[in-house]
Amino acid sequence: MADHYEALGVDRDATTDQIKKAYRRLARELHPDVNPGAEASERFKSITHAYDVLSDAKQRQKYDQGGGQNGGFDGQNFGNFGDIFETFFGGGGGSSRGPRSRRERGQDALIRVELDLDEVIFGTHRDLEVDTAIVCDTCKGSCCAPGTSPITCDICHGTGSIQRAVRSLLGNVMTSSPCGSCRGYGTIIATPCMTCSGQGRVRARRTVPVDIPAGVDTGLRLQMPGSGEAGPAAGPNGDLYLEMKVRHHDVFSRDGDDLMCSLDVSMTNAILGTNVTVKALDGDIEVEIRAGSQSSEVLTIKDRGITKLRGSGRGDLKIGIHVLTPTKLDHKERDLIEQFAARYAAPAPTLSQYQQGLFAKLRDRFLG
C-alpha cells in the first residue's frame, strides 16, 4: 500500500497546514465530478484516506510509529488488568480475537394488532404495514458506494486492534485496544454508499403477511423469527413480535374459550315458552326458550364458542336468560294480570341465598 506522505506529495515532517493544502490541491484535480476516470477515482480515495490519517495528530503519530508496535510506556493504559490477564491466559493480548464484524443482528420490533372478536373465533390473515430497517438496495449491505470496497486500515493493518507495551507490576506486557482509526473493524469505508450513509441499511415501509391463529386473546404475543429489523451491513434480521388486542364487542363477551351473552325474553314467552333465532358471531342459532324459564338461567350451545388456541375443538356459547317484566300496563292488561295472580296464588316473596355464577358475570359486563 502506498505511503500516505507519498500519496499527498509531502515530506514526512510536513506541517498540518502543508498537508491540508496538498490535499485540497489534489482533491480539486482528482474529484470524480471533475475527473471521472477510474484511475483518478482510485487516487482520490487514496489521498482522502491519507488525509484522514495524517490530519489527525494521534492517528499520524500511530502511523509514523508503524501502528504503535514500538510505542513506549502509555500512562493511560497502565493498570489495564483485563488486557494483562488476557495476555497471559487469553492468547496474546487479544490479537487472536481478530477485527470486529460490521455485520450485526438487527433489533427486535414490536407492533400491536387489533382484532374483532369474530376474527378470533377461527383466526384471520393480515397484511401488516411495518416501518422498519431493510438492506440497502444500492450497496446490497456492503456499506460501500457501488464499484468500491473496504480498504485495509493502515494503522492496525487489518487486525482491528493496536498493541502497546505497558509497564505493570508484572513487568512489561503487551496490551491490546481497538484501533481508533477503523474502530476495530480492520477496514475503512473510504467511499460510503450515499443512499444508506455507509450503514448498509435504510428505513422503509414493508408489508408483512401474518396468519393469526384462532383463540388469541388480549396481551398474547406472537413471535415471528427473522421478520424484525435488518442489521447493519446486511446483518441478520431481528424478530418481530405481534401483541394482540381484542376489541370490545357490544353483545358478546369472552370467558376463556367460551362466549357469553344475554337474551331478553318477555314475561309471556318465559311463561309459555318459544323458539327464537339469534345472530351469533359465526351465523344464526336456533334457541329454545322452555316454558317457565327464569331469569339467570343459562342456555349452553355446545361448540359455538372460540376455537381453542391449544388443543382441538371450540368452547361453548352460553346465553343468560333475562326475563323482562312489563312496567306500563293499560287497564285491560292490568285486569288480566290480576285475574292471573288471583288464580295462580303465588307465594309471598321470601329471602334466599344469593346466587352467583355466569349470569352475575353477564350482569357485571353491562354495569361496566
Residue by residue, pLDDT tens for the chain (368 residues) are 468 888 888 888 889 889 888 888 888 787 766 677 777 777 888 888 888 888 888 888 888 876 533 333 333 333 344 443 443 333 444 444 679 899 999 999 999 999 999 999 999 999 999 999 999 999 999 999 999 999 999 989 999 988 877 766 556 677 788 888 898 999 999 999 999 999 999 999 999 999 999 999 999 999 999 999 999 999 999 999 999 999 999 999 999 999 999 999 999 999 999 999 999 999 999 999 999 999 888 999 999 999 999 888 999 999 999 999 888 889 998 898 888 888 887 777 777 666 555 556 555 544 44
The annotation places the binding site for Zn(2+) at: 136, 139, 153, 156, 179, 182, 193, 196
* 200 and 79 within one domain: yes
Q: What is the extent of the structural domain holding 307?
A: 253-367
Number of structural domains the chain divides into: 3
Residue 353: predicted pLDDT: 65
240: in domain: yes
86: in domain: yes
Residue 221: CATH number of its domain = 2.60.260.20
Residue 46: CATH number of its domain = 1.10.287.110
62: in domain: no
* 226 and 257 within one domain: no
* 78 and 140 within one domain: yes
Residue with cell 487489518: 158
* 113 and 33 within one domain: no
* 259 and 229 within one domain: no
**Number of Cβ atoms within 10 Å of the Cβ of 259:** 27
* pLDDT tens string 186-195: 999 999 999 9
Among the candidates 213, 246, 279, a domain finishes at: 246
Residue 45: predicted pLDDT: 81
Instruction: Give the residue among 235, 247, 253 at the shortest CA–CA distance from 305.
Output: 253
Residue 84: predicted pLDDT: 38
- State the burial class of residue 263 (Cβ atoms within 10 Å of its Cβ: 0-12, 13-18, 19+): middle
* 138 and 210 within one domain: yes
Residue 198: predicted pLDDT: 92
* 164 and 100 within one domain: yes
Residue 219: predicted pLDDT: 93
The identity of residue 161, as a single letter, is S
* pLDDT tens string 298-307: 999 999 999 9
60: in domain: no
Among the candidates 231, 246, 261, a domain finishes at: 246
* 336 and 308 within one domain: yes
* 238 and 144 within one domain: yes
Residue 95: predicted pLDDT: 41
45: in domain: yes
* 213 and 272 within one domain: no
The annotation places the binding site at: 136, 139, 153, 156, 179, 182, 193, 196
Phi then psi for residue 111, to 5 deg, are -130, 150
Q: Give the global pTM.
A: 0.64
* 300 and 176 within one domain: no
61: in domain: no
* 90 and 37 within one domain: no
